[in-house]
Amino acid sequence: MASTVTGPILHVALDAHCELTNVSGQGAPSKFDKFGLALSSGALCLAAGAGDKVSLHALGSISKVHAKFLESGKLTFELTAPRGGMRQLLVSKARAEDLRGVLGTLDHATKLARQRGLPVLPQDECVLLLQKRYPEQVNKQLAKLRQERAGNDGPAPSKGHTRVMLVLDAADSSGRALSPAQVGKELMTLATQDFGLTAHARLAESNAQSFACVAKDAAKVAQLAMRCRTCMHHRWSNAVWLDVDVGAGVDPTAFRVACVKRLALGDESRVSATSLPHGAIKEKLAMGLVVHLRSGTLGEGGGADFGTRLELRWSEQPADGAPLGVCDVRFWEEGTRTPAPTCVAFEMHKESCKAWSLLNGDKKVSVLAASLVSRLEVFCLRLAASSAGAAVRTKVLVAGCPQGTSGGTPVPLRTPGTTPGTGSSEGASSSGAVSGGAASSASSAEPRQRSGGGLLPEDSEDDSDDSPDDEEEEEEEAATAEAGG
């Protein structure tokens, strides 16, 4: 790569005067008022200019560096042109300290790449290097990247919102079973009489097995976005699942009590209720690992689907870097109409896992997959412990797998070694497998059922001494996040 006008991912721009010329003398020189380093196309580059006008040069194109007048703020790079020939990048009017910093960063990056046996330093390590040497500029750019990526396919928390999920043996005052449409109409009446809201049905989103409605306050802000569905349950033949996004203006506990009174004859034994606030949690593990859990809506609108994403990272990793692993959890599987925590995607990032392994004495990357699955189990067990009512599920189900009346059947979770994949109720394979791609050495492992439910790869027993969960330090920072996280 010689030069390009495409903006880099990260750019450290320092005050200096730059001039790019052809040694042959052909063409007019290009002049720039900034000089520094950039991360582009996954590689560290020299950068001249800033903004839309930036010229990037890969480290491999540097032929010679003339630093005789470095203390005077001058530096000259001889660069190999992409089509043959030579170019010169003349840097002047710069601070000697800045020039020494750039040369030191380039030298350190080259040494690290040689130690890894790689032609160039991987992107994640380049980000760490730039963040360590230029923290102020890089951290600002990383924060901007996080904001830009907030609208991705992950959960988007809404401030002050809580998701209330109830399974009811729904019946009216005479004990007659209620259909989803009848339950929905009762919910609209409840929102109007008990909470002073104005309720409307969403007929376009309703059918014989599902009913959707929304209740707004006087300011036209949605406070209750509700959906009720028929569902499978091992105890109740007429089970109905209520999925309600409760806004900041309604007390979730008061809403749950009102639902039990109106729809379950006031009998808590006819209800299974789970509440999960929107927001983010960070848990610290051993060996510098961190698990980020984010819960929020998926898609647009307050009544959209709800889910939780678990991201496994290590503490020195930049927030915008690829996580070691990702696990997506939903609380409803459409295929079997089961209201339970369900793993719909499990992926391990190959390059990130490999970098972590190299920086931790070549530890087995299967440790990372086992840790992420273990944290998924802990999350579901905590959710069950905080739930109220009868017949709360504690098992982790896997989307697409056959399910009996007592819960999901475990299916293979591929630990590192294959390409990333997902398993979902809409597009899962016949076996219901959820695959994950991470680093390259570990083999596939058949999971086993643990006493608390959930999945754990068999080879985790061999790695138990290395597992971060054996020396877990948890520091929960329950931060109710702004919309978009």
- Asked which of 126, 148, 170 is the last residue of a domain, the reply is 148
Q: What is the mean pLDDT of the chain?
A: 75
Which residue type does 342 have?
T
User: Is residue 5 assigned to a domain?
Assistant: no
Greatest distance between any 2 Cα atoms in the chain: 95
Structure tokens at 14: 């320092």
User: Is residue 416 assigned to a domain?
Assistant: yes
CB half-sphere exposure, 190, CA atoms < 13 A: 23
The count of structural domains within the chain is: 3
Residue 87: other Cβ atoms inside 10 A: 23
Q: Indicate if the pLDDT at residue 319 is higher than 90.
A: no
Q: Residue 343 class from Cβ within 10 Å (0-12 exposed, 13-18 middle, 19+ buried)? A: buried
- Regarding whether 409 and 319 lie in a shared domain, the answer is yes
- Regarding whether 352 and 259 lie in a shared domain, the answer is no
- In tens, the pLDDT along 379-397 reads 888 888 888 765 555 566 6
Express as a percent the part of the chain with pLDDT over 70.
74
Q: For residue 301, give every residue at least 6 positions away whose Cβ sits within 8 Å of its Cβ, in sequence order, or none.
A: 225
The whole-number pLDDT of residue 359 equals: 82
Q: Over the Cα atoms of the chain, what is R_g?
A: 28
Integer Cα distance of 154 and 294 in angstroms:
8
Integer Cα distance of 16 and 91 in angstroms:
7
- In tens, the pLDDT along 149-194 reads 554 567 888 889 999 998 888 887 777 888 888 898 989 999 999 9
Express as a percent the part of the chain with pLDDT over 90.
21
- Regarding whether 140 and 188 lie in a shared domain, the answer is no
Residue 328 near residue 307, CB atoms below 8 Å: yes
The whole-number pLDDT of residue 57 equals: 86
- Asked which of 276, 294, 315 is the last residue of a domain, the reply is 276
Residue 92: other Cβ atoms inside 10 A: 15
pLDDT: which is higher, 8 or 104: 104
- Regarding whether 132 and 212 lie in a shared domain, the answer is no
Q: What is the CATH number of the domain that holds 72?
A: 2.30.29
The whole-number pLDDT of residue 76 equals: 92
Place of tokens 């982790």: 396
Q: Indicate if the pLDDT at residue 285 is higher than 90.
A: no
pLDDT: which is higher, 254 or 476: 254
Q: Indicate if the pLDDT at residue 282 is higher than 50.
A: yes
- Regarding whether 117 and 96 lie in a shared domain, the answer is yes
- Regarding whether 204 and 75 lie in a shared domain, the answer is no
Residue 370 near residue 460, CB atoms below 8 Å: yes
Q: List, in sequence order, every residue forming a beta bridge with 343; answer none if it has no partner.
A: 329, 398
Where in the sequence is the domain holding 327, given as residue range(s)? 278-471
User: Is residue 364 assigned to a domain?
Assistant: yes
Across 316-379, the runs of DSSP E, i.e. the strands, are: 325-330, 342-348
The whole-number pLDDT of residue 146 equals: 66
- Asked which of 276, 306, 338 is the last residue of a domain, the reply is 276
CB half-sphere exposure, 176, CA atoms < 13 A: 5
- In tens, the pLDDT along 194-246 reads 999 999 998 888 887 889 899 999 988 889 999 988 887 767 878 888 999 99
- In tens, the pLDDT along 69-108 reads 999 999 999 988 877 788 899 999 999 999 999 999 999 9
- Regarding whether 223 and 209 lie in a shared domain, the answer is yes
The whole-number pLDDT of residue 198 equals: 93
Place of tokens 């190999």: 80
- Regarding whether 320 and 189 lie in a shared domain, the answer is no
